[in-house]
Chain A
Amino acid sequence: MLDVPTWEGHLAGQHVDVRLTAEDGYQAQRSYSIASAPQDRSVTLTVDRLDDGEVSPYLVDVLQPGDALELRGPIGRYFVWEESLGGPLALIAGGSGVVPFRSMLRHHAAIGSAVPVRLLYSARSLPEVIFHEELVRLGAREAVDVRVALSRAWPDDWNGHRGRIDREYLREAAWPASSGPLVYVCGPTSFVEAVADALIDLGHDTDRIRTERFGATGSGLPAPSASQGGT
């Protein structure tokens, strides 16, 4: 959670650039989506720690309350949802790609929007699901449907989807292409590309699909296959 003295306010889905500087002047910069809604009182980032990463382990392990952090933002108007854009809305996340959608769902709740939303969120296992309780709570709202898919391991009594978010699951769980949904896809590059390909294959309008790639996240999140049938 960040206390930003000159925050000008943001839109749901935007990100910030975080820059770190070592004593000798060496710098590293990365982008992090804003997890909080525009209506929230503070700005929250949520960082997935990559063991062999340069910046994320610092943010998770070393940075402490009270430390200063150099930020640039809010940034980006493309991967943003505002009520005027309407719906129905499909939000499809892989791993930490759920972060901007948490902002969108909190915003949707804060303004009491009736735009139908469905979140499909792929994580490897239950402990890796970020914001789980909160997402369940948000998903209890009338217009909102939250579905978590576990791709690698699941509890015996798991009644959500088991396996990847592949073409078949998208056909069944995302809004049908014929309803003209507005679709946002976010996560590791390989995840985003496979989901986008599958959506296009299912007849979704490319102009209604917005994507944001986080790069290689090293998490080995399995990419869904665009062309394979059901499992």
Chain B
Amino acid sequence: MEALDGNAIAGQLMEVFGGEMTTVTGRCAGCRRTWQMAELEVHTHAPGTVGRCRDCGVVLMVLVTARGVTCVHLPGLVDLGMPTAP
């Protein structure tokens, strides 16, 4: 399957975090590169949603929805940064 990017899960992230997330930044714990959430390599044809670093492939984010509740795991994401309101 062809991967998507973080734009495709903007709605899901908005529901989970309660706000717009595509321009939130985070650093990859593997290669230290900083990404906006919209730029992640996203796989949705899977039991959960998996976001990876587009450079080094490390798993940065996993979302699993069980019984109507979505759990967010950020195994490889550090230094989250919220953009200041435009």
Contact = CB atoms under 8 A, between A and B. Distances in A.
Contact of B5 (A73, A188, A190, A211): A211
A216 B2 contact: yes
Contacts of A75: 10-11, 14, 20
A72 B11 contact: yes
Nearest to A188: B2
Contacts, number: 59
Interface string A189-228: 1100000000000000000001111111000000000000
Give the interface centre of A76, A188, A214, A216 by most chain B CB atoms within 10 Å.
Answer: A76
Contacts of B7: 15, 31, 76, 78-79, 212-213
A76 B38 contact: yes
Given A75-B10, A77-B22, A215 B4 contact: yes
Give the interface centre of B4, B7, B20, B37 by most chain A CB atoms within 10 Å.
Answer: B7
Interface string B9-42: 0110011000010110000000000001111000
B3 A189 contact: yes
A78 B6 contact: yes
Indicate the size class of the contact surface on chain A.
20 to 34
Give the interface centre of A77, A190, A212 by most chain B CB atoms within 10 Å.
Answer: A77
A142 interface: no
B46 interface: no
A17 interface: yes
Contact of A78 (B3, B4, B23): B23
Give the interface centre of B3, B4, B23 by most chain A CB atoms within 10 Å.
Answer: B4
B84 to A, nearest CB: 12
Interface of B: 1-8, 10-11, 14-15, 20, 22-23, 36-39, 86
Interface of A: 15, 17, 31, 72-73, 75-79, 188-190, 210-216
